[in-house]
Homo-oligomer: A and B are copies of this chain.
Amino acid sequence: MDEVIRKIKMGIPVLVYDSKDREGETDIVVASKFVTHDIIKLMRKDGGGLICTTMTYEISQKLGIPFMVDILQKSGYEIFKYLYPNDIPYDEKSSFSITINHRKTFTGIPDNDRSLTIREFANFIERLNVLDEKSARVEFGKLFRSPGHVHLLISSKDLLKSRRGHTELSTALMIMSGLTPSATIVEMLGDDGRSLPYQKAKNYAIEHNYPFVEGSEIIEWWEKWSE
């Protein structure tokens, strides 16, 4: 655990496999505050999934940022009754929230743009303590626009108790590392149309000297750490 945390604090990617009973996917995880354009490049080339940035439930509450599923339902458009995601095979609820771009980005998608959005999001969160709710929201809107090209994910309320997805696992790692509680994550995909198999993800980790952690380990660490 100490070695994993030491690397997270250096901005080194950590590979997180949730569990074979859930998605069975490995995500590349980096502390959002250390995301550079080279990290985004690595994530899209060696990961290949959706690049997403997490936050705690508490932060989402302070900023008034809802889950996407709640936005769709509250928007009043009839179609979202039919599109309701009541059959997600691996969990009860998706952690998807909104997409954002920093207002200083151009199109929002090149590695420079996405890393700017993510780093500025982490910077903003870091100084959230000194802002009251109203000014936090106004400030957030001065810095970012939505929709954009970076997906925000919201961790479940009691973190690893009710949901144990990559959103919660990676956010818990940031908290245990004493960093801003936001991780940037991407799924590792294989060349055969499927997720990258467990063993291949592990080999990749060894090859690049990145830590490889399983969900069950993080949950164990978290339970001890929370005491």
Pick the contact of A82 from B25, B79, B109, B141 — CB < 8 Å? Answer: B141
A83 touches B144 (CB 8 A): yes
Q: Cβ of A77: which chain B residues have Cβ within 8 Å of it?
A: 64, 66, 71, 74
Q: Cβ of A86: which chain B residues have Cβ within 8 Å of it?
A: 145
Q: Is A89 an interface residue (CB 8 A)?
A: yes
What 0/1 readout, one digit per residue, does chain A (108-124) give for beta carbons within 8 Å of chain B?
01111001000000000
Q: Cβ of A37: which chain B residues have Cβ within 8 Å of it?
A: 192-193
So how many copies of this chain end up in the complex?
2
The A contact surface, by secondary structure, is mixed
Pick the contact of A72 from B71, B111, B144 — CB < 8 Å? Answer: B71
A189 touches B44 (CB 8 A): yes
Q: Closest Cβ of chain B: how far from A92's Cβ, in Å? A: 13
B112 touches A82 (CB 8 A): no
Which positions in A face B, CB cutoff 8 Å?
A: 23, 25, 37-38, 41, 44-45, 48-50, 63-66, 68-69, 71-72, 74-90, 94, 96, 98-101, 103, 106-107, 109-112, 115, 137-138, 140-142, 144-149, 187, 189-195
A-B residue pairs, 10 tightest by C-beta: A82-B141, A37-B193, A112-B193, A85-B145, A83-B146, A64-B79, A96-B147, A68-B147, A111-B193, A49-B109
